[in-house]
Amino acid sequence: MSDASDKMGIGRIEDPVLNKGTAFSDEERKQYLLTGLLPPHVESLVEQVDRVYEAFSDEPTDLHKHVFLRSVQDENETVFYRLLLDHVEEMMPLVYTPVVGQACEKFSHIYRRARGVFVAYPNRDSMDDVFAHIQRDIDVIVVTDGERILGLGDQGAGGMGIPIGKLSLYSLCGGVHPARTLPVLLDLGTNNTERIEDPRYIGWRNERIKGEEYDEFIELFVEAVKKRFPNVLLQWEDFASVDAERILERYRDQLCTFNDDIQGTAAVTSGTVWAAVEASGGKLADQRFVMLGAGSAGVGITEQLVRAIVATGLSEADARKKFYVIDRDGLLHQGRSDLDDVHRPLAQQTADLTGWGCDLSKPITLEDVVRNAKPTVLIGVTGQAGAFTEEVVREMARHAERPVIFPLSNPTSRAEATPADLLAWTDGRAIIATGSPFDPVEHAGKTHIIAQCNNSYIFPAMGLGILASGAKRVTDNMFMVAAKALKECSPALSDPTTSLLPPLHTIRETARHIAMAVAKQAQLDGVAPECSDEELEVRCTQTMWTPAY
């Protein structure tokens, strides 16, 4: 494999990892045959970032800003990540949620330059050749098939915006070197007629492939990845729930892999709920939970919280009684005949519902559940704006002194409720975290900081811990300790009036703390070679890339 670092002249300037632009010194310009190819003034990285930020600030809309940042990334990765680190609170929502959702919808219109790998179904027999084109070592792959992008549904090839954005956060938050990451889009067609009929659509114009052909394609993909990148960390992202869960189960013991929608979302939500409960003086095992949404995220969050409560000493049967999971057909309970193997363990015993006065042959609604179960924690992962109505929230607030309410759906337009409404309906008593960023809310003379319960707190740290420890597999325990480590970083534990989650400007310190817990657990689980804590600290430091020349 050739060494990219020997590129000269224009080839070096056009490589975003090697390019330093106007920061190339006079000596470097002679060494790399750049004399005359750049303006004569030599800038520092700080000067470059200031100039780029000035241009960024002139962009008129969030989508324009997103496109501008992607162009910076395509030109100079060091400037891109230094810019993001210097303005992380402002820019993370632009490179990822919520703006990435709009970017996925407009992907074919804003496409400028190739990044990552598109594996289209017609090229399925050439999978090995596709990955052979990647002439560098890869540590992390994020892959999607574009079928369930955030709360927006099937975006086809436009789903590539998600792996690109996720891997940006791997480098920004977890310090994974950008040259060792690879976004992948599995293009199996799309059932989104708006995309198919768009004359600018750049994906494969075909109905989405499903069934046995789909499974065979996924198998070909995994085998090609294992052959070309045997030690890679493979993250599955935004697959339809029916595919996501079984893909994870099929391949989790074949390579180092996890599904962020299931496991990452579960870990960040569990850690944030844990922090909310402790900050209000309660105990996790004493809570009653309502989960609105039974897709991969809702199932993953519920199962992880069950495990967390069992770890406190409660039996699994008693722990499961505390969870009321609702899908589009109402509360999951054993009287329903339509439940599959994934949802059956989440179903309530019908005997425990006899006092509710509900007809079990009909859907039991969210309103029914809140009125009868009297939850202390309400979580939404539906993608349905306004699903947490004023009636539901006020009913919950009647019996919960500090109701914990998490409308987690992305993007912002799909949130189950706004923080301002939740605070108004609970007289300011609600403890809130959201999936998308919201500004602080003033209520009754008090400012409430709204935590963004974003997976960016977990998956980059998982990547750092896995790479630093040399883990060969990803275990459930590794996500459990990640949730606990995140909880330990909560500012609300020392000051209940502050945010449940640490500020974004400390995201690298938070990632390092979580990564160390993950790395140690990988050793305990026997999926990583043993070494001392001191050596792990050194490995974390060596693994974390910093954007600097």
pLDDT tens, residue by residue, 333-360: 999 999 999 999 999 999 999 999 999 9
Cα diameter, the chain: 83
Residue 119 to residue 133: CA distance in whole angstroms: 12
Q: What does the pLDDT read at residue 436?
A: 87
Residues 111-141: tens digit of each pLDDT = 999 999 999 999 999 999 999 999 999 999 9
- Count of domains in the chain? 3
Choose the catalytic residue: 166, 322, 484, 487: 166
Q: How many CB atoms lie within 10 A of CB 3?
A: 8
Choose the catalytic residue: 7, 20, 81, 96: 96
- The tokens for 524 are 């305990």
Q: Could you tell me if 202 and 111 are in contact, meaning their C-beta atoms sit under 8 angstroms apart?
A: yes
pTM of the model: 0.94
Mean pLDDT, rounded, for 89-113? 95
Q: Is there a binding annotation on residue 238? A: yes
Residues 441-478: tens digit of each pLDDT = 999 999 999 999 999 999 999 999 999 999 999 999 99
Q: Is there a binding annotation on residue 539? A: no
Q: What does the pLDDT read at residue 151?
A: 84
Pairing of strands 441-443, 446-448: antiparallel
Asked if 176 and 310 sit in the same domain, the reply is: no
Mean pLDDT, rounded, for 64-91? 98
Q: What does the pLDDT read at residue 442?
A: 95
Which of residues 172 and 1 earns the better pLDDT score?
172
Residue 347 to residue 330: CA distance in whole angstroms: 11
Q: What does the pLDDT read at residue 14?
A: 96
Asked if 437 and 465 sit in the same domain, the reply is: no
Q: What is the dihedral sign for C-alpha 297, 454, 311, 462?
A: positive
Rounded to 10 degrees, what is the CA torsion of 343, 345, 350, 351?
Answer: -170
* CATH number of the domain bearing residue 434: 3.40.50.720
pLDDT-derived band at 2, boundaries 50, 70, 90:
very low
Q: Is there a binding annotation on residue 237? A: yes
DSSP string, 495-527: -TTS-SS--GGGHHHHHHHHHHHHHHHHHHTTS
Asked if 268 and 249 sit in the same domain, the reply is: no
* CATH number of the domain bearing residue 498: 3.40.50.10380
Out of 228, 254, 280, a domain closes at 254
Asked if 448 and 462 sit in the same domain, the reply is: no
Residue 231 to residue 225: CA distance in whole angstroms: 9
Burial track 435-466 (b if 16+ CB lie within 10 A, e otherwise) = bbbbeebebeeeebbbbbbbbbbbbbbbbbbb
Contact residues for 391 (Cβ-Cβ < 8 A; gap 6+): 367
Out of 254, 284, 306, a domain closes at 254
Q: Is there a binding annotation on residue 410? A: yes
Q: What does the pLDDT read at residue 3?
A: 58
Q: What does the pLDDT read at residue 213?
A: 98
Average pLDDT, the chain: 96
Decide if 96 is catalytic. Answer: yes
In a domain, 45, yes or no: no
3-state class (DSSP) for residue 30: helix
Residues 133-166: tens digit of each pLDDT = 999 999 999 999 999 999 899 999 999 999 999 9
* Residue type (1 letter), 512: R
Q: Which residue segment(s) compose the domain that 171 sits in?
A: 80-254
- Reported as half-sphere exposure (CB side, CA atoms, 13 A), residue 111 has a value of 17
Asked if 448 and 463 sit in the same domain, the reply is: no
Asked if 415 and 290 sit in the same domain, the reply is: yes
Mean pLDDT, rounded, for 86-103? 95
Decide if 520 is catalytic. Answer: no
